[in-house]
Each structure stands twice: as structure tokens, then as C-alpha cells.
Structure 1
Amino acid sequence: MSNTPSAPRIPAEFTAALEAIKRIETRAELVVNEIPAPGQLAPYSVALSADVRPSRHGSDSELGTGRFILLYDPDEPEAWGGRFRVVCFAQAPLETEIGLDPFLADVAWSWLVDALNARDAKYTAASGTATKIISTGFGELASQGDGAQIELRASWTPLETDVGSHVAGWGELLCMLAGLPPTGEGVSLLSTRRTKRG
């Protein structure tokens, strides 16, 4: 009999969440991969990355990228209000004129909320930031011209171990930021056109 300590047992609740993530079917436009999760944020975590594939129907590429991290702490940190916490990020390029829209940040946040609600994701304590980035190239980069990006960082506490709806909502947000039509009804796009820099 070995005296080597055995690996810690993964809590059943976190295992159930991992199984829910494995079962989720994301939009065909998304390429989703598991990536190393940050180890210092919680005792248990899993992380996903996603990229929007270039459109097959146009000359421009609608691109977006994002990260989804599910954290689990059996001690239920007070700031989380539960044992689970989602931390996510989504980013996409925009036309410069759209980047100047004063309501862009509000629209990006509402898309996340709508995407989660449309999938009946149960959550609480949502928070986040939406950042508009406008850039202009100078000197050797002058030929790139103007550009814009929208970046959304958000976190919330899932109230269920079946977190598939949360992953699907994040994926839908990413596609919408990239200019792809929503899968649900009643949501309008800012624009489906993208400008290339350079």
C-alpha cells in the first residue's frame, strides 16, 4: 500500500457542471476550445476560448474572440453569492462610425442579458464593463487608418449546475458582437458590415 496522497476528489456539483459544458452545442460559426484555466481564482475552474469563423457569404470577415471561465468554490465566497461564478470576455472589431455611437456600450450589455434570459439561464449578481476602443494609425501605421472595437467583460453567479445555457448565452453574445444575426427573435444588430484596417 502506497503512502502517496491521493488526488483530491472533484466535487459532484462541479463535475455535473463540467458534464453540462460538454453537452452544449454552440453555433456553427463558433470555434470553441478548452484552454488552461487560471488556478489562483478558485479551487476548481474550467476555461473555454471561442473565435468567430470568417463569413462564408461575403468578402469581409466578421471576427470576434472571447473567453469563458467557470469558477467553483465549495466555501461559497461572500462576494459571489454562491459556489459558482462565471467570468467572461468578448471582443469584436467594428466600423469606426459604430464605435462612436454613444449607446454602443448599453447595447452590448443588453445583448448579454438578453442572450442569457432567452436561454432561461438562472443567475444573480451580474456585473461588468463595456469598453469602446477607437484607434488611429500614425507614422508607419498610418496606412491602417481608423478602427474601432467593442470589448465586454462580465461576471455573474449561476444558480444552477446545468451551466450549458450560460455558455450558449456567451457564445450568442460573441456572434452578435461580430455582426452575425441573432438566433433569437426581437434583437436588432448595429451593423453586419466590418471594415478591415490596413
Structure 2
Amino acid sequence: MTLAEKIAQRNAEAERKKQAILEKKALIPEEETEEEKFARRQREKNAIIESDLANAADLFSGVKVTDGVVGPASNLETMRPKTKDQFSEYTTELVALIQKHEKQGLYVSFLEGLFRELAQGCRDVDVRKFATTLTTLANEKQKAAKDALKTKKKGSSKPSLVAAKVNTVVDTKDYSNDYDEFDDFM
């Protein structure tokens, strides 16, 4: 549904509500006191304002206003997950948004703070589950890194029949490994 259609629909609904209010006014007897009339008018006025605000909120629920520019709201802002599949989709969107900054230097400290803040409202049992999950992930990454090192060592240690080149040139400018004459003093 386009924005113009939504606006037309909301305007029609508002007109219908105003007509209903006018019909109610026609049924009200004229024997009211001034105080009753004033109170009734205030109630009607408040009802109209509340319905207009509700219509505006419904109309602009999928639109985001930033610096005077109106554009579509991001999917994360409009999502209201309730089922497991919806939370899975929400997780995917959120991870994609956060991983954009993965190359930044403070990314790891950001994640530490994020996990700490998110876990504040959880029970201790749930926090232990998170910790177990993260520990398992760390162990898997450590094992994968060790396996990667093992395969590199095995691949580079193949025996060869070609004699290795020996560097016979002595570096005359490097004095770090030379004999120190002051070691024999006294």
C-alpha cells in the first residue's frame, strides 16, 4: 500500500469518526447545564485529538524522520519479534549491522561491554549458559588454529634432494653476536 493510499484511508476513517460524533451530538438533549455541555465538549475534543494522534502514529509507523528528511525506517527498528523464527531473523539483521564494524580496533571491547550490558537483566543460570556457549566457541577456534599450524608444519617439512643453500657471507656490520672483549677484563 502506498503512502498516498494510507493517507486517504486514514482521512476517510477520521471523517467517519467525526460523523459518528456529530450524530451523537444530534441525539443529546438540549436540557444540559453549561457545565455538562463544557465537560461533554472537552471529552469529545480529547477523543478527536487521541484518534488523530493514533491515526498519525499508524500512518507513520514504517517511516523514519532524520534531520528533516523522511525515509523508510530500518528493518531492525520496525521489527517486533515474538516467535523463534522472528527472533532468528532479528538476530541475523542485528549481527549484520554490528559486524560492519568488525575491522575497528575497539570492536572486541565493544562486544565485551555489549554482552555485559545485555546480560544484566538475565538470570544467573542464563548468563552461565552464555558463558558456556562462548567458552565452547573459544575452544573450537583454538583447536582450529592449532590444526592450521599442524598442517602448515607438515606441508613445509617435506624432505628434498636439493642441497640447501648455506649463507657463507658474514655480516660485518652486525656486532650483536660477536665476542665482547670486556667479558675477559680482570
TM-score range, shorter chain: under 0.3
Q: Which has the larger radius of gyration?
A: 2
| TM-score normalised by the chain length of structure 1 | 0.19
More strand by proportion, 1 or 2?
1
More helix by proportion, 1 or 2?
2
